[in-house]
Structure 1
């Protein structure tokens, strides 16, 4: 059997998801954001599993990938709500670092156009981030994080649709092989 369009599309989409997740993982490591690092790690593992299932005609692996994409969309909606401070969420909490450290998004100080200046400490300043002044950003860091999550949601939704299609194709092929 040749490469069907749904299967090839899912393979390409999984590869694109891997690249996107690896890029996101790098910047989350730079910001010491442990919750997103853990989520990205799991996402990378499941996308590799989905990619393997698609290449090797293993529908069960693709089912795992499909369930994960729904969870991944939910996680990224939470990330968007977190950075846009929807409800009682605040981007200034240590939630993303599991309250281990006071690190924040790497984009906070290194976004496009941002000029970072270290201010001399005063007696009443306690944490490291009060010594840093960031000005001139073209796009605020929370919007960059929202864009990253929106891209993840888009890729996951498309992946969900293609995965469902590929699963149905694999199941049809199994049924026709059994009936012969």
Structure 2
């Protein structure tokens, strides 16, 4: 396949997914978002698997990556619905933190142009020392939309990865089916040549002296 083939495009998509997932993982770590941290880690592993499968011509690895992209799209749709409070979801719940932290999102506490107010944590919840939360007001862009934009970008990349993953797997499968490991791309396998040689030898044996 050429340099501008679907394989090269899939490699570029996997690399871009890896960079954006690492960036998102950093901010989720800063915001103590444990559920997204776990999901991002699995996503990074799957993207690396797809990257390796594409580079090494391993269709099975690309199939695993392609299936995961569908799961990743579903997860990011849920994240968008969570932060936009669709379907009864509340962005103020502790669903993404597993109730281990009262933090919501790093962008909620450090949004662009936000005015911060400290809110002391309750003493009976096992808080870490006297750690304070930052409540944002008057932000240039609400943290819900920032998280939604992050998820929207992930959905776009995953959708493209799914399409090109299916395409590359089909190309690899066609190449494997057309290639004969004995006779190469020769439509006449080697055993046909052996049969012709044996028939010629038998005819020569029966020729009169």
Q: Same fold (TM over 0.5)?
A: yes
Number of equivalenced pairs:
176
What pairs with 1:38-117 in structure 2 (closer than 5 Å)? 38-117=38-117
Greater relative contact order: 1 or 2 (C-alpha under 8 angstroms, separation 6 or more)? Answer: 1
| Residue 33 (1) aligns with residue 33 (2) | yes
- Cα separation, partners in 2 of 1:132 and 1:56, compared to 1, 3 Å: closer
| Residue 175 (1) aligns with residue 177 (2) | yes
Contact 2:118 2:132 in 1 (8 A): no
2:122 maps to what in 1? 126
Structure 2: distance between partners of 1:168 and 1:91: 41
- Report how far residue 102 of structure 1 moved: 1.1
| Residue 160 (1) aligns with residue 162 (2) | yes
- Report how far residue 136 of structure 1 moved: 2.6
Q: Which secondary structure does the structure 2 equivalent of 1:96 belong to? A: coil
- Cα separation, partners in 2 of 1:33 and 1:158, compared to 1, 3 Å: same
Structure 1: distance between partners of 2:168 and 2:133: 53
- Report how far residue 164 of structure 1 moved: 0.4
- Report how far residue 113 of structure 1 moved: 1.2
Residue by residue over 1:69-99, the C-alpha shift from the partner in whole angstroms, topping out at 9 and shown as x without a partner, is: 0000000000001001011210000000111
- Would you tell me which structure has more helix in proportion to its own residues? 1
Q: Equivalent of 1:151, from 153, 159, 168?
A: 153
- Report how far residue 16 of structure 1 moved: 0.1
Indicate the structure (1 or 2) with the bigger Cα radius of gyration. Answer: 2
Structure 2: distance between partners of 1:83 and 1:63: 31
Residue by residue over 1:136-161, the C-alpha shift from the partner in whole angstroms, topping out at 9 and shown as x without a partner, is: 31100000000000000000000000
- Report how far residue 135 of structure 1 moved: 2.3
- Report how far residue 132 of structure 1 moved: 3.8
Contact 2:111 2:136 in 1 (8 A): no
Which structure 2 residue ranges, 5 or more long, are not aligned? 124-129, 187-209
Which structure 1 residue ranges, 5 or more long, are not aligned? none
Contact 2:69 2:162 in 1 (8 A): yes
Structure 1: distance between partners of 2:131 and 2:105: 12
